[in-house]
C-alpha cells in the first residue's frame, strides 16, 4: 500500500522527473502512467505539464489496460530510463513475435556514481508487445514461457538504484560484477 503514502509517492515522482522524463520525453512517444485509484489524482497533478503523458487508473497490478491494436506497447517503470535506440531496435527485429524482450540492462547507483552492466538468463523488466497487448499481464520473468518471444541483444533499460523497492537495492559484486563507463548513460538522456 505504499502507493497511498504521500511521502513515498513524492519520492517516486522525484525519480520520475529526474530520470524517466528526460529519457522518455525526448523520444516523442505517448506515455501512459498506470496508477492506483488512491494515487492517480496526485500523479496527474504532478505530470500536468507533460503533454505526452496521460494517467490511467488501475488498481490490480496485472490489470486490464491495453494499448490500441496498431500500437507497440513497451513496459517500463517510472523510475527507469530508456535507451534512445530501443524503438529502432524493435523496428529492425523480425516480425511475428508476441513479445520482444532483452536480457541485458544497466543499473546506475547515483550515490556512488557507479554504473553496472548485467545480463541475465530470464528477460529483463523491459519488454515490448505488438497489437497493444497488456504489458503487465504476466511478470517479466514469465514472458518467455507465455509468448512467442524474441530476445533483442543490447542494454536498452537503465534502472536507477534508490533502495525504494526490492528491485532497486544497491547491487552486490556477486550480482553485478561488471562495472562500466558512465559514458554509457548518454543514450539514456541521463546525466551522471
Q: 37: which strand partners?
A: none
Distance CA 3, CA 12 (A): 9
Q: What is the pLDDT of residues 2-49, one digit of tens each?
A: 556 778 889 889 999 999 999 999 999 999 999 999 999 999 999 999
Task: Let me know how long the chain is.
Answer: 192
* pTM above threshold 0.85: yes
- What structural domains does the chain harbor? 2-188 (3.90.550)
How far apart are alpha carbons 119 and 94 in whole angstroms?
Answer: 22
- pLDDT (tens digit, 9 = 90+) per residue, 45-99? 999 999 999 999 988 877 788 899 999 999 999 999 999 999 999 999 988 999 9
Candidates 170, 189, 177, 190; CA nearest to 28 is 189
| Grid cell locating 91 | 523496428
* Helix or strand (DSSP H, E) at 43: helix 37-46
Amino acid at each position: 500500500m505504499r502507493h497511498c503514502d504521500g511521502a513515498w509517492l513524492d519520492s517516486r515522482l522525484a525519480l520520475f522527473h529526474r530520470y524517466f522524463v528526460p529519457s522518455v520525453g525526448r523520444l516523442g512517444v505517448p506515455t501512459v502512467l498506470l496508477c492506483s485509484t488512491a494515487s492517480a489524482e496526485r500523479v496527474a497533478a504532478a505530470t500536468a505539464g507533460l503533454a505526452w503523458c496521460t494517467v490511467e487508473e488501475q488498481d490490480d497490478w496485472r490489470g486490464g489496460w491495453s494499448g490500441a491494436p496498431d500500437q507497440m506497447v513497451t513496459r517500463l517503470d517510472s523510475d527507469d530510463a530508456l535507451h534512445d535506440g530501443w524503438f529502432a531496435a524493435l523496428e529492425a527485429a523480425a516480425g511475428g513475435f508476441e513479445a520482444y524482450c532483452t536480457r541485458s540492462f544497466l543499473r546506475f547507483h547515483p550515490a556512488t556514481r557507479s554504473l553496472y552492466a548485467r545480463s541475465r538468463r530470464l528477460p529483463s523488466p523491459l519488454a515490448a508487445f505488438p497489437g497493444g497487448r497488456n504489458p503487465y499481464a504476466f511478470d517479466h520473468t514469465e514472458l518467455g514461457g507465455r509468448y512467442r518471444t524474441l530476445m533483442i541483444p543490447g542494454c536498452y533499460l537503465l534502472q536507477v538504484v534508490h533502495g525504494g523497492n526490492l528491485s532497486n537495492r544497491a547491487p552486490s559484486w556477486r550480482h553485478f560484477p561488471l562495472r562500466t563507463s558512465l559514458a554509457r548513460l548518454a543514450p539514456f538522456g541521463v546525466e551522471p
